[in-house]
C-alpha cells in the first residue's frame, strides 16, 4: 500500500520528547509510526495522538532487540514502500547524578548505555537505510545531547564543564561521530543526517532542575526532520543553532 503522505518512524515515541515529536510532526501532515518497546504502551500513545488528529500507528520496536529491525523494515516496506524520516529518539541515562564518577563507572553501565544510545542507533539505521534511500528527501535525526560535546566538556567555564556523566556523555559523543561519518557517506544523495540537542527538558530523564517544557524539547527534532533541500547535513544543532563537537 502506497501513501502520498510522508512517513516518519520515531523510536521511544510512547512518552516524553518522542511522543511530543510525533504530535508535532503529525500536525504537519506526517504519518507517524510510534516505535515502542511495549506494544500496549505504543497503542496507548497512538490513541492519544489520534485524539489530536494525528495519523499515528504503533509499531513494536525494542531498539535493543535486533530481531525487531528486520520486522519493522518489512512492515514499513509492505505498508508504505519507503521511509522518509527516521528519528532515533530512544535513549537511556544510567549514570550517577552525584558529580563526576568517571573512575567508578562500571563496565555494566557503560555497555548498557552504549548498547541503547549508540549500537542500537547504528544497527537500526543500517537496517532502514534501504527504505530511506527510496524517499525523495530522506531525513535521519539522531537525538544527541549537549553533553556529547567534547569541545564544551574540555572548555573551562562552559555550560557543561562540570556536568560530567561519563557513560551517557561518551555514548552521545560516539553518536555524534556516527552522524558525521554517515552524512559524509551519504553526501550527494537526498538523505540528510544530523544530531539534535533537545535542551534540558522536563522529562523522567531530564530530572530535577530541567528548564524546558516538552513542547520545546521536540522542536529541534522536528526542524531537522523537515529540512528543505538546501538544509544542512552532518551537523549538530539546537533550535537552528550549531553546537561545537
Average pLDDT estimate for 127-138? 98
Confidence at residue 207, expressed as pLDDT on a 0 to 100 scale:
54
Q: Is position 187 within any domain?
A: yes
Q: Is position 110 within any domain?
A: no
Residue linked to cell 573551562? 156
| 110 Cβ neighbours under 8 A, 6+ residues apart | 166, 167, 170
DSSP code of residue 146: G
Average pLDDT estimate for 158-180? 97
Average pLDDT estimate for 168-191? 98
Q: Which residue spans within the chain are E strands per DSSP?
A: 7-10, 31-36, 56-60, 85-88, 139-143, 192-196, 235-238, 241-242
Residue linked to cell 533537545? 198
Q: Is position 101 within any domain?
A: no
Catalytic residue among 168, 192, 202, 219: 168
Q: Is position 109 within any domain?
A: no
pTM for the whole structure:
0.94
Domain carrying residue 82: 7-91+125-145+176-242
Active site residue 172: yes
Q: Is position 155 within any domain?
A: no
1 confidence band (pLDDT: 50, 70, 90): very low
Q: How far apart are CA 125 and CA 13, in angstroms?
A: 16
Q: Is position 181 within any domain?
A: yes
Summary mean pLDDT of the chain: 94
CA atoms within 13 A on the CB side of 83: 26
Q: Looking at the 3D structure of the chain, how many domains does it have?
A: 1
Higher per-residue confidence, 97 vs 28: 28
Q: Residue 204 sits in a domain of what CATH number?
A: 3.40.50.720
User: Is the separation of the CB atoms in 194 and 241 below 8 Å?
Assistant: no
Q: Is position 103 within any domain?
A: no
Average pLDDT estimate for 166-172? 98
83 confidence band (pLDDT: 50, 70, 90): very high
Q: Is position 19 within any domain?
A: yes
Catalytic residue among 172, 192, 202, 219: 172
Amino acid at each position: 500500500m502506497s501513501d502520498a503522505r510522508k512517513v516518519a518512524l520515531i523510536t521511544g515515541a510512547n512518552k516524553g520528547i518522542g511522543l511530543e515529536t510525533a504530535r508535532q510532526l503529525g500536525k504537519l501532515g506526517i504519518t507517524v509510526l510510534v516505535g515502542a518497546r511495549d506494544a500496549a504502551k505504543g497503542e496507548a500513545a497512538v490513541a492519544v495522538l489520534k485524539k489530536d488528529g494525528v495519523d499515528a500507528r504503533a509499531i513494536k520496536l525494542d531498539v535493543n532487540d535486533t530481531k525487531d529491525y528486520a520486522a519493522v523494515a518489512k512492515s514499513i516496506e509492505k505498508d508504505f514502500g519507503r521511509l522518509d524520516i527516521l528519528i532515533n529518539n530512544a535513549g537511556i541515562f544510567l549514570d550517577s547524578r552525584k558529580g563526576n564518577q568517571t573512575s567508578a563507572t562500571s563496565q555494566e553501565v557503560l555497555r548498557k548505555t552504549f548498547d541503547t544510545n549508540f549500537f542500537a542507533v547504528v544497527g537500526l539505521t543500517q537496517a532502514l537505510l534501504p527504505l530511506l534511500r527510496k524517499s525523495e528527501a530522506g531525513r535521519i535525526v539522531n537525538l544527541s545531547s549537549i553533553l556529547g560535546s567534547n569541545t564544551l566538556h574540555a572548555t573551562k567555564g562552559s555550560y557543561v564543564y562540570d556536568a560530567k556523566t561519563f557513560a551517557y556523555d561518551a555514548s552521545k559523543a560516539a553518536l555524534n561521530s556516527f552522524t558525521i561519518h554517515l552524512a559524509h557517506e551519504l553526501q550527494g544523495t537526498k538523505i540528510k543526517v544530523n544530531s539534535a540537542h533537545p535542551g534540558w527538558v522536563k522529562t523522567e530523564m531530564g530530572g530535577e532542575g530541567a528548564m524546558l517544557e516538552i513542547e520545546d524539547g521536540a522542536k529541534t527534532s522536528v526542524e531537522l526532520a523537515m529540512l528543505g533541500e538546501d538544509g544542512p547535513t552532518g551537523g549538530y544543532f539546537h533550535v537552528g543553532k550549531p553546537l561545537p563537537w
